[in-house]
Copies of this chain bind each other. A is one copy, B any other.
Amino acid sequence: MPLIDNLQFSNWSPKIFEQLNAGGVHAVHATIVYHENFREMVARVEEWNLWFEQFPELIFMGRNGEDVRRAEAENKTAIFFGFQNPSPIEDDIGLVEVCHTLGARFMQLTYNNQSLLATGCYEDVDSGVTRFGKQVIAEMNRVGLVIDMSHSAERSTLEAIEISERPIAITHANPAWWHPALRNKSHEVLTELTQAGGMLGFSLYPHHLAESSQCTLESFCEMVAEAASRYGIENLGIGSDLCQDQPDSVVTWMRNGRWTKVMDYGEGSASAPGFPDQPSWFGDSRDFKNIAAGLLAVGFSQADADAVMGNNWLRFYDESFGPQQ
């Protein structure tokens, strides 16, 4: 069965590519940019192209579900590009297709702030999807670039689910009823998301976990079981939000971009400004076996565990990355 992690932003290196291989991860949705503009995003694509050329026995660029099956057959990892902010399309709707051609498969309509498209979850006022946002959603639907609302505010997220003609994704977040963090999602959002065929990727980022870095595997897996009972098993997967080997300067870039001269700590704080420690049972890509075992331990059937660990994302990839029918 395929193993898919539908969000990582690690400090990519041969070591991490080998860990993905050792962990049997067949596909990763890799964040390649936060606040980069189009040209800066292209520079990130160039870096990935060089890695693909240098490490062909470990990784290759993923473009569709078939590439996940190829990765499984060849014991490699297919890398699917994603943006956590729509900054690479600037103010130009034609860049949506260009970005898709270059490999982008997920794009958040916002990071934490208001974007040209919608409102991020840290804004005081959530004004919903903008005029440009509606046009971009239609264009993303047309070409097969998935709308990701992981960092977006409640109203914007509900509107995006409603406006989009194709299922959307919340690639990396958890239910607020388990851990009421600003970044976690309301029951209403998760109900609307999944009823429209959209996917939730459960996050392993400590700020999204009950008890943070101390969260137990059992607690996490019981949360997944409760989500399956509320929303059905079909629309749930993993989006670990693993930020492995990153210096703290990177979380500062994620939170502050170029938009503020005053430090914004995001989900952290002045006393804990850096990346939080990972829970003991999920330190890197070799630890997905712990989660798979944990799901079985809390009563999942093998088929349901396989669905969460990869089969659901694979179905979603098959249906989402090509042109709109």
- A interface residues, Cβ below 8 angstroms from B: 38-39, 42-43, 45-47, 49-50, 92, 94-95, 97-98, 101-103
Residue contact A49 to B98, C-beta cutoff 8 Å: yes
Residue contact A98 to B38, C-beta cutoff 8 Å: no
Nearest CB of B to A257, in Å: 20
Q: Report Cα–Cα, A38/B45, bound state, in Å.
A: 14
Identical copies of this chain, number: 2
Residue contact A98 to B46, C-beta cutoff 8 Å: yes
Nearest CB of B to A124, in Å: 34
Determine which of B47, B98, B103 lies in contact with A42 in the assembled complex, contact meaning CB atoms within 8 Å. B98
Residue contact A94 to B50, C-beta cutoff 8 Å: yes
Residues of B within 8 A of A43 (CB): 92, 94
Task: Give A94's nearest chain B residue, CB to CB.
Answer: B46
Residue contact B38 to A94, C-beta cutoff 8 Å: no
Residues of B within 8 A of A94 (CB): 43, 46-47, 49-50
Known: A47-B94, A102-B102. 16 other contacts (CB 8 A): A38-B39, A38-B42, A42-B95, A42-B98, A43-B92, A43-B94, A46-B92, A46-B94, A46-B95, A46-B97, A49-B94, A49-B98, A50-B94, A98-B102, A101-B101, A101-B102
Residues of B within 8 A of A46 (CB): 92, 94-95, 97-98
11 contacts between A and B (CB under 8 A): A39-B39, A43-B92, A46-B94, A46-B95, A47-B94, A49-B94, A49-B97, A98-B102, A101-B101, A101-B102, A102-B102
